[in-house]
Amino acid sequence: MDFYDVIKSRHSIRDFADESIPDDIMKRIVEAAYTAPANDHFRDWHYVVLRDKDIMKNAIAGVPKNLTVKDVDAMTFISDPIQKETYQIAVPKQYKMLIDAAAVIIPLMKKKVDILNPSCLSDLNCYASVWCSIENVWLAATSEGYGCNVRIPMGNEEAVAKETLDIPDEYLIPCFIGIGRPAKGAKPARQIEVDYNKQIHWEHF
């Protein structure tokens, strides 16, 4: 697939076909993480790939299973009808989009600074970098004909996954990635149109 076709067709996939991903393809997809730019040149991220359903189930046991569209109404930051529609589709699927995936991929970032209490912007560079690697995985999956979603761990979700998978405390889980073949008819959420003329500026704002 042409590079620009890949980035245009990358969307969150939250409904999957019951199909596994061959090991060699999965390897290519995850290894793509390690060509992402890294703030400190180390790329010392780890990726844990879960394909066994029981292990997936235990690792994501903290993810809420019974969220509904009503929970979206409580989200006061939602300001736009298309944004709301997306959340109404996505929120009830937070558990299903991971457990129905062919695999759950867990990126790990070494906690070198307290990113929840940054003293300056560059304290967040490690978090920005790991997200660059996550985007690489997402794009690689898309180019291979698979789809991904991401879930930011909240509450005890990270602790549950770390305990289940023996992940040392020095690592932070920026997200869970669900990956698999999109289900027939799975369509991305409606997107908010970007007016390039308004949002891209030439020479001055």
Ligand X SMILES: Cc1cc2nc3c(=O)[nH]c(=O)nc-3n(C[C@H](O)[C@H](O)[C@H](O)COP(=O)(O)O)c2cc1C
Write the DSSP assignment of 54-76 as a string of letters: HHHHHHTTTS-S---HHHHHT-T
- CB crowding 140-159: b at 16 or more within 10 Å, else e: bbbbbebbbbbbebeeebbe
Going from the C-alpha of 110 to that of each of 35, 42, 96, 120, the distances in angstroms are 17, 11, 28, 18
Nearer to ligand X, 1 or 152 (CB): 152
CB of 125 to ligand X, least distance (A): 16
Q: Is the CB of residue 17 less than 8 Å from the CB of residue 181?
A: yes
Nearer to ligand X, 129 or 149 (CB): 149
**Nearest residue by C-beta to ligand X?**
11
CB of 200 to ligand X, least distance (A): 18
Residues near ligand X, by CB under 6 A: 11-12, 86, 90, 149-152, 188-189
Nearer to ligand X, 11 or 112 (CB): 11
CB of 189 to ligand X, least distance (A): 5
Nearer to ligand X, 28 or 96 (CB): 96
CB of 26 to ligand X, least distance (A): 21
Distance CA 9, CA 164 (A): 34
